[in-house]
Structure 1
Amino acid sequence: MTGRSVAFPGHALGSGLTPTAAKARNFELGLVAGTPVGTSLIDAHAGGVGVMESLPEKEYFNFLRSDTCSENDNEAICHRMVLVCGTSTCHMAVSRDKLFIPGVWGPFWSAMIPEYWLTEGGQSATGALLDYIIESHVASPRLANHAASQKTSLFQLLNNMLESMMRELQCPFIAALTEDTHVLPDFHGNRSPIADPKAKGVVFGLTLDPSEQQLARLYLATVQAIAYGTRHIIDTLLACGGLSKNALFIQEHADIIGCPIILPRESESVLLGAAILGAVAAKKYTCLSEAMKALNAAGQVIHPSTDSRVKKYHDAKYRIFRELYQQQLSQRSIMAQALA
């Protein structure tokens, strides 16, 4: 038997750290017996705790709040969504009432914030997909060497290349570089909102071009595909996680979804969420919500492009994105009949 009760996140457990644990050689943190230990969370949910109250200045705060929120802070949090983006991506929102949504996990009672229901969408491979697309391309080793010699990341080098390509080719905006390249990012199935583990990834528009520039286009098309997948799931979000540090990734999400994205001031939001749980367990705050409001802080706000051509372009690509899956279903049926 593992236990009879479920504790809220951040709830102080027992009498804190036991003498045996405090003395454990592999601990080596200088902790003493009795140090408060709070109920923990999985990494993505801790990220939600670390970012969900990261509200910007009042004008943005008012923009993000629904008219139905009024001045009730307990309801305002129900009108936000957190994007925790890393190897995979989680899209999380909380509500006072149970919400059963096809293709979305949950609702889970008090799974992230006490006394709220958590619903969670997700994409099975995002950062992992970008790594795969880049590393499997013939130009990847050359680009990796260039990035190392310039003491920059491979992603930043690709982002810089795309800026240069846009200027050289006189494209109206950076996203237009992928007008002939379309990606369906379901390389590891579709978690939300279709919930199809048999879904496969698609890259449309491949040529024999082995250049670094072609890899940059494919990288951009994949970033856009991930954002179209997010658009398929959500409308408004706050973002954190490793990929939130990629400026191109975040700007494409803002442009494609059509709403501002709030980045937290603390880039390591998962660690901040864990620290908040500890602070609540140590009685520094009376509850998790109080600690979140005190310790969450907004950083940069990324706005969608105001260029109407950008919206028109992404609307067209999103239509193709949705059609790629429908075509896959049709082709799957044709092959199933052939093998029947």
Structure 2
Amino acid sequence: MRTLTQEGRFGEYGGRWVPESLVPACLEVADAFEDAWIDAGFREQLQTMLARHVGRPTPLTPAERLSAELGVTVVLKREDLTHTGSHKINNAVGQALLARRMGKKRLIAETGAGMHGVATATAGALLDLPVTVFMGEQDVERQSHNVFRMRYLGAEVVPVRSGSRTLKDATSEAMRHWVSATEEAHYCLGSVVGPHPYPWMVREFQRVIGEEAREQYAAVPDFVVACVGGGSNAAGTFAGFADTSARLVGVEAIGGSGATFGQAGVLHGSQSLFLQDEHGQILEAHSIAAGLDYPGVGPEHAHLRDLGRARYVAVNDEAAVAAAAQLARTEGIIPALESAHALAWVAEAAGTPDLPAGSTVLLTLSGRGDKDIATLIARSEEATA
């Protein structure tokens, strides 16, 4: 699962499809990361920050009551227990350290559910780097809790009013802003998407999830499952198990199922799988989980799908909400709605040929559900109306 070429190709996917004005910035980031990643001092500094400020390693939690209901053994990798409440902090701290090493003065980020924005704002506060976060106007409204957190941490939050006013458009606006600020600012992209080196670099910063889980799990699980929007928590998790017999399953939102139903195309500087119409125009995505509201996946996921090494499936909003309630009821854990999609697939597939009874399942719980309480309240009120 390494980048195979200098241009950052995963099979036919990836690359650096950006305006000429952004090529030098991408090359600068690639050179800086390659240099940093082989520097023992940088790696030690990162590990220290992840331990002191993030709370790594995160534990594995056997979901015993859930397992009894489903007839499969589910163990949760608890990224929801990190500082800020999701896996996003692993990458944000890594990129903030890299930005400081590069001599950059501030950070730019995009966010959907707000967790990457909160993580970047947190890393910026730790390292004294001002942060500007672009967020779709629709997500600003439905994730107001995280908007407050970002601003409280000192970040500027810029609502994006174009297009669908969600993650895709926030990413586009952040990249446009970066074009005019490459000398002073680093673009802290939050997922395994975008131009090289981002899909590779973000996966490397997130591989701590899979490597920890591999060490913590007594044996190789039958299945390794994670939700997929752009796909950073899944890429990090899969990195720890790609060379094992574990079957890798990425779970998308039905309305943002690029790996499941997408076609090859280019968006945000990378070639991958995206939802498109018959004319090749990118379709708008939809998900109750703002972090999965993206019409494609990172190029490595597209490559893993083509290789048959990972399987990608999609579930709907209703199944995700039900799965969140089931985990809360059985284990006392309220998951992020993104993670609830992975739980929903396990619940639906348990006992079928896709997930035979008695199987062992390692599932990455990518974030906690505090941010989704308003959405869950609204759903509950609709159900009882």
TMscore range, shorter length? under 0.3
Higher relative contact order (CA 8 A, sep 6+): 1
Query: As a proportion of its length, which structure holds more strand?
Result: 2
Q: TM-score, normalised by structure 2?
A: 0.21
Q: TM-score, normalised by structure 1?
A: 0.23
